[in-house]
Amino acid sequence: MTKCALISGRGMGMMHGGNFHNHPDAEVVAVCEMNPDLLEKAKEHFGVPGYLTIQELLDNCDAELVLLIVNETRRIPPLRELLEAGQNVFTEKPLCGLQGQATVRESDLAIAAPAIAKWRDSNQKFGIDFNYRFMHHFKKLHDDVVNGTLGEIKMLHARAHFNCWSHIIDQILWNLGTPEWVSVTGDPNEGGGWQRLIHIGWENGVVGTLTGTNLWGYDDHPLRVKILGDKSYAEAKGLDGSYLRRKAGNSEIEEKWENEPGKPEMPESFKRMADGVINAMQSDQPFPADGEAAWAELLFEAAVHRSALQNGARVYLDDVDRAAFV
């Protein structure tokens, strides 16, 4: 049984805490929340002791895994405190965003870098909630890429509403790896969330585009990822679940999958992620989306921001990565 401590008494934290607490091989044994009213509710909900500070939690709790579900604007200080205390940590995405998750800037990467360096030098487990990896349609796309079903990958096209922004970046990186460069059209000083068109290039010659805005609604799916190979091309889209693979060159349908009506993939994906984390704890394996996945997504965002400030200049991610640790 994996003992978990939950740092959060708010909606997302309670949801994550519930998924871990309801897992047959895990339980929440303590909660931490700086708001006294929320702390009392969380204590009552889980029937466990509660603490107002992380230090109190560490002094009084023997949890093996800490669920750090706090906002990206204040995530790094408690993360560093937990890592320095030798704790295994599961947290939310993006790793850092002082102006919010859809407006990550290069300065956020530098803020997160010491935490990543600390984790890399430790034997601790650290991971992030990229739960879209556990939706069947996105998993189908990933399997078709890595198994060679699509053939040699040539191109990617993706777009998302900003509510899904960190996730669509992770989907791109999960499938195709960290790109070599990005080039961006958009003004990061635009009010209300800046619209952006991102050109992406990988070292192996694959090219892609990613567009982001809040102007898309949810009537035509808040995110889509299409990957084209020389044998087939496929698209996974939406939060309910839809996948379509076609033969390259003639569009013949090779596979079509949709979720059952009334059974959206989103709620189940959080439970599957919790299961993946607990299985990793018990088998001593990296978390399903570990610290490197968290860093890669933030690095991509930082390079996008730098490119936008340089009027769409091609920015190499290795350069941004090195600068973060200076």
Residue 193: is its pLDDT beyond 90? no
Please tell me the CATH superfamily of domain 2-130+280-288, with its number. Answer: NAD(P)-binding Rossmann-like Domain (3.40.50.720)
Helices marked H in 87-197 — which ranges?
106-120, 136-146, 165-176
Q: How far is CA 171 from CA 138, 188, 202, 239, in A?
A: 8, 23, 15, 13
All CATH 3.40.50.720 domain ranges of the chain, comma separated, are 2-130+280-288
Range in 1-5, 93-97, 101-105, 165-169 the model is least confident about: 101-105
Would you state the pLDDT for residue 262? Answer: 86
Q: Round to whole Å and give the CA distance between 58 and 40.
A: 19
For 126-159, the pLDDT digits (tens) are 999 999 999 999 999 999 999 999 999 999 999 9
All CATH 3.30.360.10 domain ranges of the chain, comma separated, are 132-268+301-308
- pTM assigned to the model: 0.97
The whole-chain average pLDDT of the chain stands at: 96
Share of the chain above pLDDT 90, in %: 92
Q: How far is CA 161 from CA 91, 104, 183, 214, 215, in A?
A: 22, 15, 20, 5, 7
Would you state the pLDDT for residue 190? Answer: 87
Question: What is the CATH T-level fold of the domain 132-268+301-308, as seen in this structure?
Answer: Dihydrodipicolinate Reductase; domain 2 (3.30.360)
In the beta sheet, which residues pair with residue 197? 185, 211
